[in-house]
A and B are shown apart, each in its own frame.
Chain A
């Protein structure tokens, strides 16, 4: 059941109605049951590894807490982390070579495995107590809004909320619904429209050169952002309707002025996870190695992020590239600060140039992320040059030969989204809606309902033709 299907909206409606009509004590049970149904609708067999990993983490954490010896605790903690990672690798990679076991690469396995690992390590490090309630804990692992593609929420944060979810209110309803609507807009209007042209290129990379590859280079980051942040928005909005506040995943990533800042703004829940459970422990362990220890920690951290997506040479290359970018950024931080201290007037220009440079570095990395193979990525990067005199005609030719209207709609919608995000909160009508004249309030509600209705009907009609989310496969 896709997040962009009408079926999902009905499922969510039923889930919210059921959960909200239950007592607080029963809420985790309902979330668990509904999440299992949601997951089973994808493939009931995939519940086996999910349940297995969940119970394994639950009992391991209890054992860690009740064990007296540090050595036993350590063995249990690291043993369980290694086991969970091994199962993740096995289930993600083995089905590639054995088609009858496709179902063994279950939906969202990378997400729930990371959630469970963080829980076990938090209990081991004494950051939180082991959860006694198996139902509440299982509902954390299988929580349906987050299982498809995150965000990766920490157990302490979730378990606290699931026992005392935010009471259902009009503002919660508006926030949740608006978030879902924005997510659907990002996915169906921006990502899918831009994707029409880009998929044509990525489907047959070696058939293109020049402008099409250049357009792909610049537009894929926007498509991926709209696609993934749209998916996250729907997840966050759905969780909100159930009374659970999820962590944010994006914070205007393309406005980052350097690559480290970009990673603090992009897929934040994964980055924060790797910082807490990979980078920081490694940095602590290698603090005596000085700069080499820093670079080593950064490289392992970035490779973890890259290979979390899948063990392929293109993701490996993606990891290597970003390891290099982030290492250079980290090593040059001090000299840059010193420079700007002496030349403060350069700072605004550097900020602007930094954003442009960062976007290009990100786009470069994403070529490896999206291309099927490293040779495909290299083909794009080496053949996207176009003579400046022929640039506009080449772009026009490509746009006309593919779906120029789709491309234009996607880009216009993206511009609209950026403007709305910038000015929405500042618009007087939004700030003062409650004190506005009655006709203005009615009109605002009426027009919003109309837009939502048209959006719903479009989903209903186009549901079967939609493109899958790019991050659904992880």
Chain B
């Protein structure tokens, strides 16, 4: 009996110590990466509805995922009257967990359009479906399965060129794709690759207990610390063991920094040709899917940091290192393709490069990080948002209508 009484007292002391440590970590401002994702049968993973916590990677920012799993404010499923809805599909640049929600480019687009459209005309509402790490494959599935319940009239796909091309190919995908689906072209048709087919045959279903644990973890600094350490240890372990070998084997014929250099080259080798073919097929599939729902489709090619360095010498150095005349070749090729396919499109990188060079501003990266490396910063989001808004204002038939399509 004495033994159990001692155990109980010790347990209470330990609980007190844990609470004190939690308190100290909160007071001292210690923050760790929260978990925002959940595994999903269709797209491998998605944002977890209701998840909230700190993003600490590049830039500390408190992030809330809305109740429907979007990194956005709450939106009713039913489109409000006299409202034009724009769905934005994209990767981490659109997820934009590095910046506050009201400074993301899709908020800027909404603000700019509502500000500049004639008074009394329709109201514009932009909904973001961005998820970090998504290539065109999962984005296509997002368009197919997720967006139509919101009844958007304009659908935008906005990705940098590396995401548009490289993430379409399992072989060229850099890092862990966390079960995201990949497509191949088989007999001229777009199909899931064999690994995706196998994965979809036995999908990992979201576990309610795991969701609860992840939510609890995001709310406790101590648990977040343990989780962050676990993730880092797993990454380290994977790098030196099986994951590393598997990846090394899979990418054995690829240059070490292929993911930095390939996006600039266009379809210049067999791997890239394959990735380009899949990307083009997916873009056409997106166009068809959107037009099937009588909506307007736009393709915006965002920029990569190397393309928009404000220092012209840095850009020249990069061109020299890559052995290319222009850093925008892939954008030109994809623009040509989109033009032939009748897709409204815009390559933002040349405009952004000009802006960065003239204004001497760095559009990527945050304080405490190496210069011009990483995601779009607040300034980058602002400029991208303004450019997209301008393009839509000048080229969108939906926006030029005085009254709303009652569709």
**Taking beta carbons and an 8 Å cutoff, which residues of A are in contact with B?**
193, 405-406, 409, 437-439, 442-443, 446-447, 450-451, 454, 457-458, 460-461
Nearest opposing residue in chain B for A442, CB measure: B10
- Besides A454-B21, A461-B32, 15 other A-B contacts (C-beta < 8 A): A409-B27, A409-B29, A439-B9, A443-B14, A446-B13, A447-B13, A447-B14, A450-B17, A450-B21, A454-B222, A457-B226, A457-B229, A460-B232, A460-B233, A461-B229
Known: A443-B14, A457-B229, A461-B32. A451 touches B9 (CB 8 A): no
List the B side residues contacting A193 at CB < 8 Å: 28
Residues of A within 8 A of B6 (CB): 437-439, 442
The answer for the CA separation of A102 and B48 in the assembled complex, in Å, is 49
Is the pair A458, B225 in contact by a Cβ cutoff of 8 Å? yes
Interface residues of B in 306-336 (CB under 8 A from A): none
> Does B228 reach chain A (CB closer than 8 Å)?
yes
> Distance (Å) between the CB of B314 and the closest chain A CB?
20
| Chain B 220-238 near chain A by CB (<8 Å), digits 1 or 0 | 0010011011001100000
Specify the main secondary structure of chain A where it touches its partner.
Answer: helix
A469 CB to nearest chain B CB (Å): 20
Q: Is B74 an interface residue (CB 8 A)?
A: no
CB distance from B150 to the nearest CB of A (A): 38
Cβ-closest 9 pairs across A and B:
A443-B13, A439-B6, A439-B9, A442-B10, A447-B17, A409-B28, A405-B29, A457-B229, A443-B10
Scoring B residues 26 to 68 as 1 if CB is less than 8 Å from chain A, else 0, what string do you get? 0111101000000000000000000000000000000000000
Q: How far is the CB of A36 from chain B (nearest CB, A)?
A: 24
Bound form: Cα–Cα A409–B23 in Å? 13
A199 CB to closest chain B CB (Å) equals 11
Q: Which of A446, A451, A458, A461 contacts B10 (CB 8 A)?
A: A446
Complex Cα gap A409–B232 (Å): 26
Interface residues of B (CB under 8 A from A): 5-7, 9-10, 13-14, 17-18, 21, 27-30, 32, 222, 225-226, 228-229, 232-233
* Chain B residues near A450 (CB-CB < 8 A): 14, 17-18, 21
Q: Which residue of B lies closest to A464 (CB)?
A: B232
B225 partner, pick from A406, A443, A446, A461, beta carbons under 8 A:
A461
Q: How far is the CA of A35 from the CA of B18 in the complex (A)?
A: 38
Q: List 8 A-B contacts (CB under 8 A).
A: A193-B28, A409-B27, A438-B6, A439-B6, A446-B14, A450-B18, A457-B225, A460-B233
Nearest residue in A to B2 (C-beta to C-beta)? A438
**How many Å from the CB of A464 to the closest CB on chain B?**
10
- Nearest B residue to A448 via CB reads B17
A408 → B minimal CB distance (Å): 8
* Shortest Cβ distance from B25 into A: residue: A454
Give chain B nearest CB distance to A116 CB in angstroms: 39
Q: Which residue of B lies closest to A405 (CB)?
A: B29
CA distance A460 to B226 in the complex (A): 10
The answer to whether A454 and B9 have CB atoms under 8 Å apart is no
Q: Is the interface of B mostly helix, strand, loop or mixed?
A: helix
A450 to B14, CA, bound (A): 8
Residue of B at shortest CB range from A437?
B6
Closest to A447 in B: B17
Q: Does the CB pair B18–A461 fall under 8 Å?
A: no
The listed residue with most A CB atoms (<10 A of its CB), out of B13, B18, B233, is: B13
**Neighbouring B residues of A451 by C-beta, 8 Å:** 17, 21
Q: Are A458 and B17 in contact (CB under 8 A)?
A: no
Instruction: Evaluate contact between A458 and B30: CB separation under 8 angstroms.
Output: yes
Known: A405-B29, A450-B17, A450-B18. A443 touches B9 (CB 8 A): yes
Residue of A with least CB distance to B233: A460
Bound state CA distance, A454 and B13, in angstroms? 16
- In Å, the complex CA distance between A405 and B28 comes to 7
For B228, the closest partner residue in chain A by CB is A461
Nearest to A403 among chain B residues (CB) is B29
- Bound complex: CA of A204 vs CA of B264, how far in Å? 38
Which residues of chain A are near B10, meaning CB under 8 Å? Answer: 439, 442-443, 446
Smallest CB separation, A404 vs chain B (Å): 10
With contacts A405-B29, A439-B6, A450-B18 known, is A461 near B13, CB below 8 A?
A: no
B14-A454 in contact (CB<8A): no
CA distance in complex: A438, B13 (Å): 13
Which single residue of chain A is at the shortest CB-CB distance from B229? A457
In the complex, what's the smallest C-beta–C-beta distance from B52 to chain A, in angstroms? 20
Q: Could you tell me the distance between the alpha carbons of A406 and B226 in the complex, rounded to whole angstroms?
A: 22
Residues of B within 8 A of A457 (CB): 225-226, 229
Report the bound CA distance from A439 to B6 in whole Å.
5
Q: Which A residue sits closest to B17, measured CB to CB?
A: A447
Least distance between B374 CB and chain A CB atoms (Å): 15
Closest approach, in angstroms, between the C-beta of B175 and any C-beta of chain A?
18
How far does the Cβ of B10 sit from chain A's closest Cβ, in whole Å?
4
Q: Which residues of A have CB within 8 Å of B14?
A: 443, 446-447, 450
Minimum distance in angstroms from B286 CB to a CB of chain A = 39
Nearest-CB residue, chain B, relative to A410: B28
Q: Give the CA-CA distance A457 to B27 in the complex, in Å.
A: 18
Residue of B nearest to A461 (CB): B228
What residues of chain A lie closer than 8 Å to B9, measured between beta carbons?
439, 443
Q: Are B222 and A461 in contact (CB under 8 A)?
A: no
- Which residues does chain B contribute within 8 Å of A405, judged by CB atoms? 28-29
Please give me the residue from chain B that is nearest to A193 by CB atom.
B28
Give CA–CA (A447, B21) in the complex, Å: 10
B13 partner residues in chain A, CB cutoff 8 A? 439, 443, 446-447
Alpha-carbon distance between A361 and B153 when the two chains are bound, in angstroms: 72
Closest Cβ neighbor of B225 among chain A residues: A457
| A residues near B5, Cβ cutoff 8 Å | 439
Q: Are B225 and A454 in contact, CB atoms less than 8 angstroms apart?
A: yes
Chain B residues with CB under 8 A of A442: 6-7, 10
The residue in B10, B21, B222, B228 that gathers the most chain A C-beta atoms within 10 A of its C-beta is B10
- Cα-based distance from A438 to B6 in the complex (angstroms): 7
The residue on B at minimum CB distance from A445 is B10
CB distance from A393 to the nearest CB of B (A): 23
Taking CB atoms, residues of chain A closer than 8 Å to B228 are 461
Taking CB atoms, residues of chain A closer than 8 Å to B27 are 409
- Which of A454, A458, A460 has the largest number of chain B CB atoms within 10 A? A454
Chain B residue with Cβ nearest A413: B28
A451-B233 Cα distance, complex, nearest whole Å: 20
CA gap between A85 and B6 in the complex, in Å = 62
**In the docked arrangement, what's the CA distance between A406 and B27, Å?**
10
Q: A457–B14 Cα gap in the complex (Å)? A: 18
The CA of A252 and the CA of B220, in the complex, are separated in Å by: 37
| Interchain CA distance A458-B232 in the complex, whole Å | 12
Least CB distance, B26 to chain A, in whole angstroms? 11
Residue ID in chain B nearest A446 by CB atoms? B14
Residues of A within 8 A of B7 (CB): 439, 442
B229 cross-chain contacts in A, Cβ below 8 A: 457, 460-461
